[in-house]
Amino acid sequence: MVGPAPSRGADTRVAALDGAWPAIEVSPDGTIVAANEAFARCLGRSAKALSAAPFIDLVHAEDRARAAALSTATAPVELRLVDAAGGERVLLIAPLEAASRILLCCDLTEQRQAERAARKAEAAPAKMPAATPKSSTAPPIGCGRWMRRCATPTSPPIWKN
């Protein structure tokens, strides 16, 4: 005898939580019901340690207002989460489907760090190489290999034979 077919929600939960993407299931009161290994690795914790933990405790203090809006969000939200070492991980978090308690995540930490480094490099003034005694930043007066450098720009060139 075959048992009842699983509901679409159960299939979605299993697929999301067993997949390669970091994913969590959050209850209506904000407690983490389940987290997959990819999400746990992202934060440097175990999936078991994350179960029954309040999701808001993982969110950076400055991003908690946006995290509260996840329950009604239909578009992805970028949040900073605190990892086990106390560092920040930037995650793009989106509900799997409308009104879903399952949230898929994409770790953007390295991308954001690279963007910050590029902005910092663009903002830094370009350093000019230091002038050496053999070279000068001013162009020589005159040109050609038969012409010597003149004392002043207005004096006639001295020809070398």
Could you state, in order of their start, the residue ranges of all structural domains in the chain? 8-113
Q: What is the mean predicted confidence (pLDDT) over 82-87?
A: 92
Q: What is the mean predicted confidence (pLDDT) over 32-54?
A: 90
Asked whether 107 and 22 are in contact (CB, 8 A), the reply is yes
pLDDT at residue 78, as a whole number = 94
**pLDDT at 23 > cutoff 60:** yes
32, with CB counted inside 10 A (0-12, 13-18, 19+), is: buried
pLDDT at residue 148, as a whole number = 47
**pLDDT at 107 > cutoff 60:** yes
pLDDT tens track for 116-139: 999 998 887 766 666 555 555 555
State the Cα angle at 128 between 122 and 129, rounded to 5°: 135
pLDDT band at 56 (very low <50, low <70, confident <90, very high): very high
Q: What is the C-alpha separation between 44 and 160, in angstroms, rounded? A: 75
pLDDT at residue 55, as a whole number = 93
Burial track 49-82 (b if 16+ CB lie within 10 A, e otherwise): ebeeeebeebbeeebeebbeebeebeebbebbbb
pLDDT band at 150 (very low <50, low <70, confident <90, very high): very low
Report the CATH number of the 8-113 domain.
Answer: 3.30.450.20
pLDDT at residue 123, as a whole number = 84
